[in-house]
Amino acid sequence: MAPGRFITFEGPEGSGKSTQIRRLAETLAARGIEVVCTREPGGTATGEAIRNILQHDAAGEPLADRAELLLFAASRAQLMEQVILPALGRGEWVLCDRFIDSTLAYQGFARGMDIAALGRINDFAIGGRKPDLTLLLDLEIERSFQRLEKRYSDGQGSADRFERETRDFHQRVREGYHQLAAREPGRFRIIDSDRAIDEVASKVWNVVQEALLSQ
Protein backbone atom coordinates (compact mmCIF):
# COMPACT_ATOMS: atom_id res chain seq x y z
CA MET A 1 0.00 0.00 0.00
CA ALA A 2 1.32 3.47 -0.90
CA PRO A 3 1.86 5.57 2.21
CA GLY A 4 -0.64 8.27 3.10
CA ARG A 5 0.45 11.86 2.66
CA PHE A 6 -0.22 14.73 5.00
CA ILE A 7 -0.54 18.24 3.53
CA THR A 8 -1.41 21.35 5.50
CA PHE A 9 -2.62 24.67 4.14
CA GLU A 10 -1.61 27.83 5.94
CA GLY A 11 -1.87 31.55 5.33
CA PRO A 12 -3.66 34.71 6.37
CA GLU A 13 -7.45 35.01 6.52
CA GLY A 14 -9.04 34.89 3.10
CA SER A 15 -5.88 33.72 1.35
CA GLY A 16 -7.79 30.88 -0.32
CA LYS A 17 -7.04 27.89 1.91
CA SER A 18 -10.56 26.44 1.85
CA THR A 19 -10.94 27.13 -1.88
CA GLN A 20 -7.63 25.48 -2.76
CA ILE A 21 -8.17 22.46 -0.51
CA ARG A 22 -11.39 21.75 -2.41
CA ARG A 23 -9.58 22.08 -5.72
CA LEU A 24 -6.66 19.85 -4.75
CA ALA A 25 -9.04 17.25 -3.31
CA GLU A 26 -10.85 17.11 -6.67
CA THR A 27 -7.60 16.75 -8.57
CA LEU A 28 -6.33 13.97 -6.31
CA ALA A 29 -9.68 12.15 -6.34
CA ALA A 30 -9.68 12.26 -10.16
CA ARG A 31 -6.39 10.33 -9.99
CA GLY A 32 -7.96 7.70 -7.79
CA ILE A 33 -6.33 8.88 -4.57
CA GLU A 34 -8.45 8.63 -1.42
CA VAL A 35 -8.54 12.05 0.22
CA VAL A 36 -9.71 13.23 3.61
CA CYS A 37 -10.23 16.98 4.02
CA THR A 38 -10.37 18.43 7.47
CA ARG A 39 -9.87 21.68 9.28
CA GLU A 40 -8.59 23.29 12.42
CA PRO A 41 -9.86 24.03 14.90
CA GLY A 42 -12.55 21.43 14.39
CA GLY A 43 -12.77 18.33 12.24
CA THR A 44 -14.17 16.21 15.09
CA ALA A 45 -17.28 16.68 17.24
CA THR A 46 -15.09 17.78 20.16
CA GLY A 47 -13.01 19.99 17.91
CA GLU A 48 -16.05 21.73 16.39
CA ALA A 49 -17.34 22.52 19.90
CA ILE A 50 -13.92 23.99 20.70
CA ARG A 51 -13.97 25.95 17.42
CA ASN A 52 -17.22 27.58 18.47
CA ILE A 53 -15.68 28.80 21.73
CA LEU A 54 -12.56 30.06 19.95
CA GLN A 55 -14.36 31.96 17.24
CA HIS A 56 -17.20 33.56 19.08
CA ASP A 57 -16.34 33.90 22.76
CA ALA A 58 -19.06 31.35 23.37
CA ALA A 59 -17.92 31.11 26.98
CA GLY A 60 -19.31 34.64 27.40
CA GLU A 61 -16.09 36.05 28.81
CA PRO A 62 -12.82 37.16 27.28
CA LEU A 63 -10.64 34.17 26.51
CA ALA A 64 -7.23 34.20 28.21
CA ASP A 65 -4.31 33.84 25.79
CA ARG A 66 -3.14 30.60 27.43
CA ALA A 67 -6.64 29.17 27.44
CA GLU A 68 -6.93 29.98 23.75
CA LEU A 69 -3.64 28.25 23.07
CA LEU A 70 -4.58 25.10 24.96
CA LEU A 71 -8.00 24.91 23.33
CA PHE A 72 -6.30 24.92 19.93
CA ALA A 73 -3.92 22.23 21.16
CA ALA A 74 -6.79 20.13 22.50
CA SER A 75 -8.66 20.35 19.21
CA ARG A 76 -5.48 19.38 17.36
CA ALA A 77 -4.75 16.39 19.60
CA GLN A 78 -8.29 15.11 19.08
CA LEU A 79 -8.09 15.60 15.32
CA MET A 80 -4.76 13.82 15.13
CA GLU A 81 -6.02 10.78 16.99
CA GLN A 82 -9.52 10.58 15.55
CA VAL A 83 -8.99 11.58 11.94
CA ILE A 84 -5.47 12.24 10.68
CA LEU A 85 -3.50 9.24 11.96
CA PRO A 86 -6.23 6.70 11.09
CA ALA A 87 -6.54 8.09 7.54
CA LEU A 88 -2.76 8.06 7.00
CA GLY A 89 -2.75 4.51 8.37
CA ARG A 90 -5.23 3.53 5.65
CA GLY A 91 -2.91 5.02 3.02
CA GLU A 92 -5.15 8.03 2.39
CA TRP A 93 -4.07 11.60 1.84
CA VAL A 94 -5.03 14.16 4.45
CA LEU A 95 -5.52 17.82 3.51
CA CYS A 96 -5.80 19.97 6.61
CA ASP A 97 -6.95 23.60 6.67
CA ARG A 98 -4.53 25.15 9.21
CA PHE A 99 -2.33 23.19 11.62
CA ILE A 100 0.69 23.67 13.91
CA ASP A 101 2.02 26.67 12.02
CA SER A 102 -1.15 28.66 12.68
CA THR A 103 -0.40 28.40 16.41
CA LEU A 104 3.13 29.68 15.85
CA ALA A 105 2.01 32.50 13.53
CA TYR A 106 -1.03 33.70 15.50
CA GLN A 107 -0.25 32.96 19.15
CA GLY A 108 3.52 33.25 18.74
CA PHE A 109 4.44 35.90 16.19
CA ALA A 110 1.23 37.93 16.41
CA ARG A 111 0.26 37.64 20.11
CA GLY A 112 3.84 37.46 21.34
CA MET A 113 3.76 34.16 23.24
CA ASP A 114 7.00 32.23 23.58
CA ILE A 115 7.69 30.41 20.29
CA ALA A 116 9.80 27.65 21.87
CA ALA A 117 7.04 26.87 24.41
CA LEU A 118 4.46 26.81 21.64
CA GLY A 119 6.64 24.42 19.69
CA ARG A 120 6.71 22.01 22.62
CA ILE A 121 2.94 22.22 23.07
CA ASN A 122 2.49 21.58 19.34
CA ASP A 123 4.78 18.56 19.51
CA PHE A 124 2.88 17.21 22.50
CA ALA A 125 -0.46 17.65 20.74
CA ILE A 126 0.57 15.92 17.51
CA GLY A 127 2.77 13.22 18.97
CA GLY A 128 5.53 13.62 16.41
CA ARG A 129 3.73 13.23 13.05
CA LYS A 130 4.47 16.46 11.22
CA PRO A 131 2.97 17.37 7.84
CA ASP A 132 4.86 16.08 4.80
CA LEU A 133 4.19 19.34 3.00
CA THR A 134 2.90 22.74 4.10
CA LEU A 135 1.55 25.13 1.50
CA LEU A 136 1.73 28.75 2.59
CA LEU A 137 -0.84 30.67 0.57
CA ASP A 138 0.63 34.12 0.72
CA LEU A 139 -1.35 37.30 0.25
CA GLU A 140 -0.85 40.93 1.24
CA ILE A 141 -2.99 41.84 4.22
CA GLU A 142 -4.80 44.60 2.31
CA ARG A 143 -5.86 42.04 -0.29
CA SER A 144 -6.89 39.57 2.37
CA PHE A 145 -9.14 42.18 4.01
CA GLN A 146 -10.64 43.06 0.62
CA ARG A 147 -11.54 39.44 0.01
CA LEU A 148 -13.11 39.06 3.43
CA GLU A 149 -15.15 42.25 2.98
CA LYS A 150 -16.39 40.94 -0.32
CA ARG A 151 -17.29 37.64 1.33
CA TYR A 152 -19.33 39.41 4.04
CA SER A 153 -21.06 41.68 1.53
CA ASP A 154 -21.99 38.56 -0.45
CA GLY A 155 -23.74 37.44 2.73
CA GLN A 156 -21.34 34.61 3.58
CA GLY A 157 -20.79 34.93 7.32
CA SER A 158 -19.48 37.70 9.54
CA ALA A 159 -16.14 38.51 11.18
CA ASP A 160 -14.89 36.10 13.87
CA ARG A 161 -12.58 36.98 16.79
CA PHE A 162 -9.43 36.76 14.68
CA GLU A 163 -10.86 38.60 11.71
CA ARG A 164 -11.66 41.53 14.03
CA GLU A 165 -7.99 41.90 14.99
CA THR A 166 -6.05 44.90 13.65
CA ARG A 167 -4.14 45.05 10.40
CA ASP A 168 -0.90 45.15 12.44
CA PHE A 169 -1.84 41.86 14.03
CA HIS A 170 -2.42 40.27 10.63
CA GLN A 171 0.80 41.78 9.32
CA ARG A 172 2.68 40.02 12.13
CA VAL A 173 0.88 36.78 11.23
CA ARG A 174 2.02 37.08 7.64
CA GLU A 175 5.61 37.90 8.57
CA GLY A 176 5.60 35.07 11.09
CA TYR A 177 4.60 32.63 8.38
CA HIS A 178 7.52 33.79 6.25
CA GLN A 179 9.93 33.16 9.12
CA LEU A 180 8.49 29.69 9.68
CA ALA A 181 8.86 28.89 5.99
CA ALA A 182 12.48 30.08 6.03
CA ARG A 183 13.16 27.88 9.05
CA GLU A 184 11.83 24.68 7.43
CA PRO A 185 12.35 25.05 3.68
CA GLY A 186 12.03 21.29 3.17
CA ARG A 187 8.46 21.21 4.46
CA PHE A 188 7.18 24.60 3.30
CA ARG A 189 6.34 25.96 -0.13
CA ILE A 190 5.19 29.56 -0.52
CA ILE A 191 2.49 30.10 -3.11
CA ASP A 192 1.50 33.55 -4.33
CA SER A 193 -2.21 33.62 -3.73
CA ASP A 194 -2.84 37.00 -5.38
CA ARG A 195 -3.70 35.28 -8.65
CA ALA A 196 -6.85 33.88 -10.20
CA ILE A 197 -8.20 30.80 -8.42
CA ASP A 198 -7.34 28.52 -11.37
CA GLU A 199 -3.79 29.80 -11.51
CA VAL A 200 -3.25 29.23 -7.79
CA ALA A 201 -4.79 25.75 -8.13
CA SER A 202 -2.41 24.77 -10.89
CA LYS A 203 0.57 26.09 -8.94
CA VAL A 204 -0.59 24.05 -5.92
CA TRP A 205 -0.89 20.96 -8.08
CA ASN A 206 2.60 21.46 -9.57
CA VAL A 207 4.10 21.82 -6.12
CA VAL A 208 2.33 18.72 -4.81
CA GLN A 209 3.50 16.67 -7.79
CA GLU A 210 7.06 17.88 -7.43
CA ALA A 211 7.17 17.38 -3.66
CA LEU A 212 5.17 14.19 -3.17
CA LEU A 213 4.51 12.37 -6.44
CA SER A 214 7.75 12.58 -8.36
CA GLN A 215 9.85 10.04 -6.37
Ligand X SMILES: Nc1ncnc2c1ncn2[C@@H]1O[C@H](COP(=O)(O)OP(=O)(O)OP(=O)(O)O)[C@@H](O)[C@H]1O
User: Among candidates 30, 196, 6, which has minimal Cα distance to 100?
Assistant: 6
- Residue 17 or residue 203: which is nearer to Mg ion going by CB? 17
Least distance from ligand X to the Cβ atom of residue 44, Å: 18
Of 195, 145, 192, residue with least CA distance to 171 = 145
Which run of H or E residues covers position 3? none
State the nearest-atom distance from the C-beta of 112 to ligand X, in Å: 21
Piece of the chain touching Mg ion by CB under 5 A; list 11-19, 20-28, 83-91, 145-153 = 11-19
Report the distance separating Cα 17 and Cα 59, nearest Å. Answer: 28
| Chosen from Mg ion, ligand X, none, partner binding at 200 (C-beta under 5 to 8 Å by type) | ligand X
192, 206 contact by CB (below 8 A): no
The count of chain residues that interact with Mg ion, using the rule CB under 5 A, is 2
Residue 9 C-beta: closest distance to Mg ion, Å: 9
Backbone angles phi, psi at 121, to 5 degrees: -65, -40
Q: Which is nearer to Mg ion, 17 or 170 (CB)?
A: 17
The reply to whether omega before 41 is within 30° of 0 (cis) is yes
Q: Considering beta carbons, is residue 76 or 113 the nearer one to Mg ion?
A: 76
Among Mg ion, ligand X, none, the one that 130 touches (CB under a kind-dependent 5 to 8 A) is none
Closest-CA residue to 23 (of 160, 102, 135): 135
Give yes or no for residue 18 binding Mg ion (CB under 5 A): yes
Residue (117 or 197) nearer to ligand X, CB: 197
Closest of 8, 35, 23, 29 to residue 201, by C-alpha: 23
Least separation in angstroms between residue 30's CB and ligand X is 20
Binding positions for ligand X, rule: CB under 6 A: 11, 13-19, 147, 151, 193, 195-197, 200
- DSSP 8-state assignment for residue 81: I
- Least Å from the CB of residue 160 to ligand X: 8
How many other C-beta atoms can be found within 10 angstroms of the C-beta atom of residue 18?
A: 14
Binding site for Mg ion (CB under 5 A): 17-18
